């Protein structure tokens, strides 16, 4: 396959070793959708700059949409093409379809600003999905915490039993860690929200491109401010890898805790069979392989971060081929964190807490020694002296093979005469917990308050539990893309490119909880008679809370205000729409424009959707 850079060379090497060493298509094919989206936006920018005619723009957009279908339906066609990289593949395929016009698309553009834009778009989509997976893991921990508010568990420092806690409190510690991970990932999106396209190879483009308009068309807040920096910046990759390294740190600590808790020596929890394996030799073994792999995979994410930092160290401006090394490790790190979060969810779902064993361990570790010191401190014994007295009492009890609370009052009063019969209440595990009645501590109501607050935050519920449905803006595009692509993979709707969503963002609405997009839908107007509700979807973890109904009601009201006579939905859940006043209609009654769109559906010849119509006049 011809390269994009051959004009300077009298002959282009066909050395197989160098091609394998140099070519990036085997991994950057994952940028195909983003490259096509950015190419569609660039074509529009070229048309606005007078480089392309409207007819040329239409042909380019049509060919690019065809390529998008190839990417979704037959990615093997890309990988077997022999192209140098994803940009070469897109251009060569365009030339096959529309001739020299395909070559014209690269006017004023470099692979340098092209890949910088593609990678930012990919990172943004990846982060949105990772945020969703982190929230799912948090919900699993919160659900477990709700079950075990009253389960007493040994708390540790230095892997020595320290003070009793509630197992729910342990769960909520990891909810807090993941919450910081969420905030860091959100910062990644905010920090990279500028579009490099139009920066050229390093000095900008010689064509009158409106870069602000171009940036907005791709869902960015604005364009990058310096072309040298734009094509050579990989800070956002390093920032993402750093954030992912911390996610894996937290997952590794989580895994290590549960590996120990599930060991024969502890026996505080039992792991589900679906995340454990046995031994080929020892039939009694139940190994925590899923958790060990989470712990082990931490290293590869750390390696990706160190590798990227090393690649960028002392790299001169602007673009250098070294920067091709940014993708493989990044893709692998994102995939690794994603699968570890999914396995974490499975671990939590199958986890059984052995409450009796955990409580017994909390009792046996003299974890109430601090309570004896606090008891004396409340009787005006200086804490340092009280601490010493409690230590001597523990030494005596240990020599007797007894817990502190099993010592007689006479034995305890040997250590200090102010110890009275009320000490036994202070030494009980329940008292140990309830005495810690400050914000963030283990008293029962404090733990319950933490669970309620975290549940609202993680589920995107403000204090008013208010659901907000509003018109979408370009800032909602990444979340809409992620949501639509999720349900497209599930076969529930058609995939939509980012460029398509950006160009029709005025058709979309979003449902938000606490500022987080949890659902989306669009109203596509065919003519003055009829419009269709499209791309209706809610993240699985938010279903059942009324978002779907709220969005359909919102779009139906919009249709009424516009004066439309019919609102159509092609759906696999007719009962849902029937409850909202829709009635079944025959597909043959639909306008040709509606049926024309069906040609892009993979289920065209085996359609399982029901056509349903809502009539504003009848509903009034």
| CA nearest neighbour of 614 among 521, 538, 570, 526 | 570
Helices 54-73 & 86-98 angle (0-180, nearest 10): 120
Distance CA 333, CA 335 (A): 5
DSSP string, 267-303: -SEE--GGG-B--SS-TT--B-HHHHHHHHHHHHHHH
Structural contact between residues 117 and 40, judged by C-beta atoms closer than 8 angstroms: no
Report how far residue 149's alpha carbon sits from residue 443's, in angstroms, rounded to the nearest whole number. 10
CB 36 within 8 A of CB 105: no
Catalytic entry in 13, 58, 279, 470: 279
Using CA atoms, how far apart are residues 194 and 212, in angstroms rounded to an integer? 10
Residue 324 backbone dihedrals phi, psi, to 5 degrees: -65, -20
User: DSSP string spanning 367-431?
Assistant: TTHHHHHHHHHTTT--HHHHHHHHHHHHHHHHHHT--GGGS-HHHHHTT-TT--TTHHHHHSHHH
**CB under 8 A, 24+ apart: contacts of 273-279:** 273/350, 274/346, 274/350, 275/343, 275/346, 275/347, 275/350
279 is catalytic: yes
- Strands 508-513 and 468-471, sheet pairing: antiparallel
User: What is the sign of the dihedral through the CA atoms of 385, 386, 390 and 393?
Assistant: positive
What is the distance between the alpha carbons of residues 49 and 41, in angstroms, rounded to a whole number?
A: 12
Cis peptide before 318 (omega within 30 of 0): yes
- What six digits make up the tokens of 360? 């017994």
Contact 37, 114 (CB under 8 A): no
Instruction: Quote the DSSP letter at residue 524.
Output: E
Q: Decide if 440 contacts 432 (C-beta within 8 A).
A: no
| CB contact set of 141 (below 8 Å; sequence gap of 6+) | 171, 172, 174, 175, 178, 348
Handedness of CA 99, 105, 109, 111 (dihedral sign): negative
Residues with Cβ < 8 Å from 16, sequence gap 6 or more? Answer: none
Q: Is residue 310 within 8 Å of 328, Cβ to Cβ?
A: no
Q: Is 58 a catalytic residue?
A: no
Helical ranges in 9-85 per DSSP H: 16-22, 25-28, 32-48, 54-73, 76-79
Active site residues: 158, 279
């Amino acid at each position: 396959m011809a390269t994009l850079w051959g004009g300077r060379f009298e002959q282009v090497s066909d050395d197989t070793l160098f091609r394998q060493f140099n070519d990036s298509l085997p991994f950057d094919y994952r940028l195909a959708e983003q490259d096509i989206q950015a190419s569609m936006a660039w074509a529009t920018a070229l048309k606005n700059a007078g480089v392309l005619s409207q007819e040329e723009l239409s042909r380019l957009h049509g060919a690019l949409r065809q390529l998008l279908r190839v990417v979704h339906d037959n990615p093997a066609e890309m990988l077997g093409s022999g192209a140098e990289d994803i940009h070469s593949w897109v251009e060569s395929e365009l030339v096959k379809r529309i001739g020299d016009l395909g070559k014209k698309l690269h006017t004023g553009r470099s692979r340098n600003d092209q890949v910088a834009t593609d990678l930012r778009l990919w990172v943004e989509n990846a982060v949105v999905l990772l945020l969703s997976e982190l929230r799912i893991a948090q919900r699993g921990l919160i659900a477990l915490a709700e079950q075990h508010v009253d389960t007493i568990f040994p708390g540790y420092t230095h892997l020595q039993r320290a003070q009793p806690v509630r197992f729910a409190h342990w769960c909520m510690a990891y909810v807090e860690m993941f919450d910081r991970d969420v905030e860091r990932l959100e910062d990644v999106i905010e920090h990279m929200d500028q579009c490099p396209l139009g920066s050229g190879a390093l000095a900008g483009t010689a064509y009158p491109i409106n870069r602000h308009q171009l940036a907005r068309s791709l869902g960015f807040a604005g364009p990058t401010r310096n072309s040298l920096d734009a094509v050579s910046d990989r800070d956002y990759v390093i920032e993402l890898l750093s954030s992912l390294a911390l996610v894996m740190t937290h997952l590794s600590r989580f895994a290590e805790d549960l590996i120990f808790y599930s060991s024969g020596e502890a026996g505080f929890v039992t792991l589900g069979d679906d995340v454990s394996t046995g031994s080929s030799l020892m039939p009694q073994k139940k190994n925590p392989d899923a958790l060990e792999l989470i712990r082990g995979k931490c290293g590869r994410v750390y390696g990706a971060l160190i590798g990227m930092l090393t690649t960028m160290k002392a790299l001169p401006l602007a673009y250098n081929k070294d920067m091709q090394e940014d993708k493989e490790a990044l893709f692998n790190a994102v995939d690794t964190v994603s699968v570890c979060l999914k396995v974490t969810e499975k671990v939590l779902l199958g986890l059984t807490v052995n409450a009796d064993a955990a409580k017994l361990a909390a009792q046996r570790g003299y974890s109430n020694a601090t309570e004896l010191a606090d008891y004396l401190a409340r009787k005006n014994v200086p804490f340092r002296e009280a601490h010493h007295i409690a230590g001597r009492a523990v030494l005596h009890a240990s020599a007797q093979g007894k817990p502190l609370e099993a010592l007689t009052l006479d034995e305890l009063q040997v250590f200090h005469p102010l110890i009275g019969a009320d000490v036994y209440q202070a030494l009980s595990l329940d008292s140990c917990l309830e005495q810690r009645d400050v914000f963030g501590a283990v008293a029962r109501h404090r733990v319950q308050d933490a669970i309620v607050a975290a549940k609202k935050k993680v589920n995107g519920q403000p204090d008013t539990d208010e659901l907000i449905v509003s018109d979408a803006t370009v800032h909602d595009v990444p979340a809409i893309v992620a949501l639509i692509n999720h349900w497209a993979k599930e076969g529930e709707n058609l995939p939509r490119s980012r460029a398509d969503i950006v160009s029709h963002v005025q058709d979309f609405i979003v449902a938000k909880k606490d500022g987080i997009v949890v659902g989306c839908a669009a109203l596509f107007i065919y003519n003055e008679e009829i419009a269709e509700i499209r791309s209706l979807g809610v993240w699985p973890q938010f279903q059942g809370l009324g978002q779907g109904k709220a969005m359909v009601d919102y779009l139906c009201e919009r249709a009424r205000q516009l004066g439309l006579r019919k609102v159509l939905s092609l759906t696999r859940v007719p009962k849902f729409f029937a409850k909202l006043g829709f009635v079944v209609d025959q597909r043959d009654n639909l306008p040709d424009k509606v049926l024309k769109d069906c040609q892009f559906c993979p289920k065209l010849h085996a359609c399982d959707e029901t056509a349903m119509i809502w009539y504003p006049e009848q509903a009034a």
